[in-house]
Amino acid sequence: MRKLVAISIVAVVASLALIGSPSGRAQGQRTLTIKVTSADPNRQIEFDASYIFQSDNGELRHVERVTPFEVKASSEFVAGIFRDKTNSGQMVVQLLSSRDGETEARGNAGRADVVVLSTSGSGEFPYSVQGFSVK
């Protein structure tokens, strides 16, 4: 049930942002990168996630992985929710932005059991990364 609610939230937020986002790209192509790591480099974290990039296919992805994990796409918009299956509070999710191969902005990192991230899709790089504890 939680998974369905989480996927529904991401799908609604992503749909609204994709519909309302301007498609003007002032400079080169932006690449958004999501990195999921463990705060303890000697420990892997098992997690699941749902995320969507504004790209040619705009497909909502659901993955179950262990850290470290990285995914990137040429896009102005991304939304996602990430859940630490071990509830350790050690999962770190970071959003990075680069344009034409050069780092444009280092996104904030969320460290928690559940991390929600998104960008505005406006061509700038305003972003939100929020973490929640389940304990």
Q: Render pLDDT for 69-123 as a digit per residue (tens, 0 to 9).
A: 999 999 888 999 999 999 998 999 988 888 887 877 666 677 889 999 888 766 5
- Structural domain tally of the chain? 1
| 36-71 pLDDT, tens digit each | 999 999 999 999 999 999 876 788 999 999 999 999
What confidence category does residue 133 fall into, taking pLDDT thresholds of 50, 70 and 90?
Answer: confident
Pairing of strands 114-119, 78-84: antiparallel
CATH number at residue 19: 2.60.60
User: Which residues form the domain of 85?
Assistant: 2-132
Per-residue pLDDT at 16: 42
Whole-number Å distance between alpha carbons of 19 and 37:
31
Dig out the tokens for 96 from the structure. Answer: 């990075």
Segment 8-16 shows an average pLDDT of: 49
